[in-house]
A and B are shown apart, each in its own frame.
Chain A
């Protein structure tokens, strides 16, 4: 049997390839096979290739783009779609494990489908290191499938360190107390060349822009060190921290979930502790 894999440059698509091999001999289609991103056109091309090759399954990466195109394919084919899987066993039905709540919960499920459509959650299983699969041919898209396409790109206006790529993040929660309270967080971040982050409580209060939010509905981060100041650690926030190497939690409540899930903790008032850390760094320079 043949299995079709929607691939881009991401590790996630090589992780998808790892699971796809359980279903057959993989063939691939590139996300950028048609040039500028046109999700309906790629979905249409996948549908055609899936039918022509009579594939056992179609796999993609559980990225924004991967999930989007696979959902459009599922709608076109009238088939079920399981997003963000971490384990899959072929069969009828297919049994699988997928992420819920941004990875805070696992779901075991049965997928009843003549042609399983599956995406694989990023950073969860080893990437495939085998030979690259042969690419399928893609015909020019129909006009109707080009109505939705990327026509322009705008770059972010702030020149600061990007959260997603930051090596160090100093992040504040409700415990910071106010918009003005972030001055000490920004000072420490400046000393460390770090990005400033925050929890959802902070963006909902309007203290920081949403682009600073770390969590399930914000940015997922992977820094060397994540310094969480006055953040309790709701599952919404923790879902964004799974890639962090070291977590330092500063909180007045030693029982706060983040204090229990950190690598290092300091108990006490962040309004004293954060400036003291900044002063200590300055002293040693």
Chain B
């Protein structure tokens, strides 16, 4: 039989007191520890008993980069790769690891040809042109200081509105300010688009969508099929929660994975996915890699201004007390996949959202979607006004296809108005070819003609194609 003595309880209490988060390893205990690899004095404490000196840290970051490339067989190719460079610490570290990998001994050298691309986003928050020129020059100088003769390209976010092939190169002469590739008409359109979005979250999401579209466009223009992004594990952990909060659950495997190959034109690779921001900061300090901080749409904003900023604060505050937070989030995120994941591989156009190119999540069959959950919640709220409700009944009605509460006074169930049981995103019939989060974005935007012509026309074209397919369906074998 088990017996608990008073003495044992005291021991348990003492061990629990030791296990207070953040207190498990007191600072006095970890000072002057040796590196776990080589025994030299450590320069960084990563987690628990993981101490590393500067040289071992640099080697480990380079190693992590190479492992990702080797795993996805990118290291053996001699192709050109487009490297997104923002000037910040993570993308500077990405250039550092690339430089290390493409130089050195011929036996271990990678033969990739990096093409560096900087996208200036100043126009999205109406930064004066002079400021933008200054930032562009400093970013390009930072990219050039890497010492490799890589092709340096730059473009501006507003150029996503341009229908002509973009100018990407500039004659780089040290000491003179570079000219931003821009166009007054495109700046006006971007300004109008950004002003029409009411919330900061919407603005950030639109800017992200435009940035991805522009990068794809440039990759297509240059005939490059691989794009490297410098996303670190911390950023992906915040992105995981933000995506879930914005109803992009089905996109998680694409946004958080090492490789996102769902776009046939451009494969996105995240070689620094396993590297933390702390490692990156220290890697840059030890390797003397220069980074430039250029203000972006989120800079010096209120921590409650957008879902992303708020989630970032939440995750980092949690990380301060519980050092495994970010790792746990990312490891859990890696295991998440859609219940209808098998369909993602199918290249049928209808299964993909035209804007974000993610899998569609508005299927009625799939019960675990943000849209269905909101519809259920709205329906319950509407029914609760009438009296007590049995959740089981509502669920079974939903399964049998009844999706309105039937209130005559608000016209619920009406196909035109939608009624009280449909979310505002669902009420936009022209958006039925978009995923939930893109529909939410369209609801924020109000007018889709504000979007770049490519996106809008593609959407119309697809609508017409669908109609045509319907009409000829009977004649097809």
A-B complex is real: no
Which residues of B are interface residues toward A (Cβ below 8 A)? none
Which residues of A are interface residues toward B (Cβ below 8 A)? none
